[in-house]
Structure formats: structure tokens, C-alpha cells
Amino acid sequence: MENFDIVNRPSHYCEGRKYEPIEVIKDWDLNFNLGNVVKYISRVGRKDDSLQELKKARVYLDHEIKYIEKKREKLKDTLEHLSAMASNNENMEEK
């Protein structure tokens, strides 16, 4: 019989599982947002209302998507700025 502890080994994460979500999150080196996605998906049908758990996962997935989109936009802006600077330097050298 498995030993569950509401703080350290809650049954909604451990019961009938080979790996706890926290072990997967650490092994995959997931950040906060993606770790929470895994956590909430792993609880579907085991803790609170399944739809509620999926909506919680979606919140963190949306945060991660926005973060990546913002990073890409910043990179794009930086590359455009550098390209413009290089073009200006070339024009100045030609004169």
C-alpha cells in the first residue's frame, strides 16, 4: 500500500502513478508556466472538476505563448534596428 501525504505526496499526484508530476517537471527542466501546465493536466479527473483543471492549465499555457511571442517580437525589432544601423553605416561610407 502506498503512503500518501497531503503536503509531500498528495494522492491526486501519486496514486497509481509511476512518476509524480514534480519529477517530470524537474526531469524535463520545465519553466514555471510549463510546469504548471503539466501539473494541472496531471490532476484532470483526480482532484477538482476536470474542466476547471484544464482551464487552469490553459491559463499557464497562454502565459507561455504570450511570453514567447513577446520574445520573438523583441528579437525581430532588434534585428530590424541592427539592419537599419548597418544600412546607415554603408550609406555613410559611400559618401
- Taking residue 38's Cβ as centre, other Cβ atoms within 10 Å add up to 17
Reduced to 3 states, what is the DSSP secondary structure of residue 5?
Answer: strand
CA 10 to chain centre: 23
pLDDT digits (tens, 9 = 90+) for 18-68: 889 999 999 999 999 999 999 999 999 988 899 999 999 999 999 999 999
pLDDT digits (tens, 9 = 90+) for 74-85: 999 999 999 988
Burial of 33 (0-12, 13-18, 19+ CB in 10 A): middle
Between the two ends of the chain, the Cα-to-Cα distance in Å is 83
pTM equals: 0.73
- Contact (CB, 8 A) for 62 and 78: no
